[in-house]
Structure 1
Amino acid sequence: MDAILAAQPDFHVLVIDDASPDGTGALADERAAADPRVHVLHRQGKEGLGKAYVAGFEWGLAQPAGYTHLFEMDADFSHDPRYLEGLLRACTEGRADLAIGSRYVPGGGTQGWPWHRQFLSRGGGLYARSILGLTIQDPTAGFLCFTRAVLERLDLRALATRGYGFQIELKYRVVQAGYRVLEVPIVFVERERGQSKMNTKIAVEALWKVIELRARG
C-alpha cells in the first residue's frame, strides 16, 4: 500500500482480508489506524476471488467519499502501482468505462514466468475470446480500473464465478452491457512473495464458466 500511495497520494486503498493466518489483517488494521487513506475489510473466511472483489466493489460504492473510479489489483507487486496513472487516464481522457492493464497488447508483457504459465495464460485468453466473441486481448487480466457508473449498473451479485474465471465473466458482462473498454499495456512481473492460488479445480471452473456464459448468450 505504501507504493500505491507514493504513486498516487490522493488515492485510498482498501485491503480485503479473508481471515488470513499470516497476520495480514492485523498489519492492515495498524496502517489504517495511522492513515485515513487506508481501509480494511475483514471477511470471516475464504469464499473465492470473485466474492472478495464483489465485496470490495460494494464497499467502495457505499462510501460517502463518492469515489469516481474503483481499481482492482494484486498486492504482491505483480501489478506495478506506476501503471495506475495510465489506467485512470484511459478512463478520464480516453473515456473508457473499463481500463484493463493488459499483458498482450503492444508494449505489454510478462517477466519471470515459466513457459507453462505463459501457455496457460495465453491459451485461456484465446479460449475465452473464441467462445465468447471478445476482442479483449487479455480477458483474464486482474489489474483494472472501472468508472463508478459501470459498477453501479452491473448486477454484481449475479456474478457467479468464485475463482479466476471471475475476471473473464466480469469483462464479458461489461462488454455485453455496451460499455467502452480500453487495454493499457503493462508488464506483469512474477510475484515477489507468496505463491499463486491457481490450481486444476480453479482452471476447470474457468473453462466451464466460459461455456456457461456462452450458452446463456
Structure 2
Amino acid sequence: MNHKKLVIIPTFNEKENIQDIIMAVMDLAGHFEVLIIDDNSPDGTAGIVKNLQQSFESRIHLIERKGKLGLGTAYITGFKYALEKDYDYIFEMDADFSHNPKDLIRLYESCAIDGFDLTIGSRYIKGVNVVNWPMGRVLMSYFASVYVQFITGLPIKDTTAGFKCYHRSVLEGIKLDKIKFVGYAFQIEMKFTAWKLGYKITEIPIIFTDRTKGTSKMSTHIFKEAVLGVIYMKFKSLFSPYKRAKVSQSELL
C-alpha cells in the first residue's frame, strides 16, 4: 500500500521540541510527511523547520500564519492543504512529545488495514494512561470526557484527544468551514460531527506523556469553550440534521 500520509503539527513557541519531533517522524517506516502550521512563533520555530526542509524538501511542509489564531483553525488549514494535495491519511499530533510518534504507525494501520475512517489515540480506553500530569489535571481531563459522553451520547472514551488519523473521506464529508470551535472544543466537535455523519470510528490505547520542554497552551478560556460548546453541539444536533458534504470531482483535482 503506497498511501500518501501527512502529519499535521500546529506550533507556537516550540523551538525546544520541533527538530526532534520532526526527525522522529522522518525516521518512521512508511514515508510519513509533516506539515507544520506555525502561528508566528517569536522563538524562531519556523526558522528551524526551514532549515530541516533543506534536507527533507519533499517531506517537510510549512505554513506560516500571522499570529495565534487557535488550534482549530490551524488544523482546518492543514486539512484543506491535505485534501488539495491528495493525501490519503491525515494525522493530528502535538509537537511536544506528549504523543509518541511511533504510534502513528498503529493509527495508520487501524485505518488502512482494519478499515476505520477515524482512529483516535486514546488515554482512557484501558484505564488512565497519562504520565507526569498532576492528579487534578488528570481528573479534569477524564471527567471532561465523561461529561461529553453524558451530554452528547458520543461513544468515545477520550473525547478531547488530539492524536488521530483520518481517512481523507472524513475530511471531505465534514463541512470544514462550518466547524465552530477553535480550542479543545474543536477536538470534540470534529469527533461528534464524524460520528453523526456515520463514519467508522475506533480508539486504540496510547500512553500520553506530559511535555518536558516548552510551556502548555491550556487556558481557562479553552476549557470554558469546551464545557459550553458541548451543550451547543447537542442542542444544534436536535434541530439540524447532519449531512455529508458533497465533494465534486473537480474540487479534488
Taking structure 1 as the reference length, the TM-score comes to 0.96
Residue 47 in structure 1 maps to residue 69 in structure 2: yes
Q: 1:137 aligns with which of 138, 157, 178?
A: 157
Question: By how many angstroms is 1:8 displaced?
Answer: 3.3
Q: What residue number does 1:13 align with?
A: 34
Q: What residue number does 1:216 align with?
A: 236
Contact 1:108 1:185 in 2 (8 A): no
The one-letter code sitting in structure 1 at the alignment partner of 2:102 is R
Question: By how many angstroms is 1:9 displaced?
Answer: 4.9
CA distance in 2, matches of 1:54, 1:82: 24
Equivalences, count: 215
Please report the RMSD computed on the Cα atoms of aligned residues, expressed in angstroms. 1.1
Question: By how many angstroms is 1:107 displaced?
Answer: 7.2
Return the structure number with greater relative CO, CA threshold 8 A, min gap 6. Answer: 1
Q: 2:117 aligns with which of 97, 100, 105?
A: 97
- 1:62-73 aligned at under 5 Å gives the runs 62-63=84-85, 66-73=86-93
Q: What residue number does 1:23 align with?
A: 44
Residue 85 in structure 1 maps to residue 105 in structure 2: yes
CA distance in 2, matches of 1:195, 1:122: 21
Q: What residue number does 2:55 align with?
A: 34
Residue segments in structure 1 that go unaligned for 5+ positions in a row: none
Contact 1:102 1:108 in 2 (8 A): no
CA distance in 1, matches of 2:209, 2:27: 19
CA distance in 2, matches of 1:12, 1:140: 24
Residue 201 in structure 1 maps to residue 221 in structure 2: yes
Q: 1:115 aligns with which of 106, 117, 135?
A: 135
Contact 1:78 1:191 in 2 (8 A): yes
CA distance in 1, matches of 2:177, 2:54: 30
| Cα pair distance change 1:108/1:119, threshold 3 Å | closer
Question: By how many angstroms is 1:190 displaced?
Answer: 0.8
CA distance in 1, matches of 2:192, 2:182: 15
Q: 2:187 aligns with which of 167, 171, 179?
A: 167
Question: Percent identical across equivalent pairs?
Answer: 42
Question: By how many angstroms is 1:120 displaced?
Answer: 1.0
| Cα pair distance change 1:108/1:120, threshold 3 Å | closer
Q: Deviations over 1:123-176 (max 9, x none)?
A: 110111110101100010000000011111111111110111100001000000
| Cα pair distance change 1:53/1:76, threshold 3 Å | same
Q: What residue number does 1:183 align with?
A: 203
Residue 146 in structure 1 maps to residue 146 in structure 2: no
The one-letter code sitting in structure 2 at the alignment partner of 1:137 is K
Deviating 4+ runs (over 2 angstroms): none
The one-letter code sitting in structure 1 at the alignment partner of 2:118 is L
